[in-house]
Structures are given as C-alpha cells and as structure tokens.
C-alpha cells in the first residue's frame, strides 16, 4: 500500500495537507514536535492511494510519498 512520511522537523502544522487529501487519511498529531508544532500524520493505514496531493500543497517539503 502507498504511504506518506511526514518529516516532523519540517512540518509546521498548517493542516493544508489534511484538506488536500482526497481520502481524508491525514490528521494532526496531538503531541508537539521538537519545533513546537502539532505535525501532520497518516492517521489511517491502508487509506493512502499515493496521489501526492498532500505533497503538492505542502509548503514545507515535509511530506514524502511512497508507492
């Protein structure tokens, strides 16, 4: 199954990826990252289709998509 990885050092918690994901697979973490944000995370396994919409809108190059 495709998946995404979020670089917590880069993610600034803007939530744009949660809106862009056509499957609503992405949620925000409820714990702070080292940089002081609630980073995004892939909430549901087997949900990601590897469309890279999240990567496309991410301002911070925080997301890597695997397929």
Residues 15-44 that bind other proteins (CB under 8 A): 15-16, 18-20, 35, 37
> Does the footprint of other proteins cover residue 14 (CB under 8 A)?
yes
Strand partners of residue 40: 28
3-state helix, strand, coil in the chain (%, to 5): 15, 20, 65
Phi, psi of 42 (to 5 degrees): -80, 110
Q: Least separation, in Å, of the C-beta of 34 and other proteins?
A: 12
Residues that bind other proteins (CB under 8 A): 2-3, 9-10, 12-16, 18-20, 35, 37, 50, 52-53, 55-61, 63-67
């Amino acid at each position: 199954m495709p998946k995404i990885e979020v670089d917590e050092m880069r993610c600034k918690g803007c939530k744009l990826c949660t809106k862009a994901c056509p499957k609503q697979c992405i949620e925000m973490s409820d714990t702070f990252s080292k940089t002081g944000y609630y980073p995004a995370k892939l909430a549901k396994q087997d949900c990601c289709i590897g469309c890279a919409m999240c990567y496309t809108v991410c301002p911070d190059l925080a997301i890597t998509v695997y397929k």
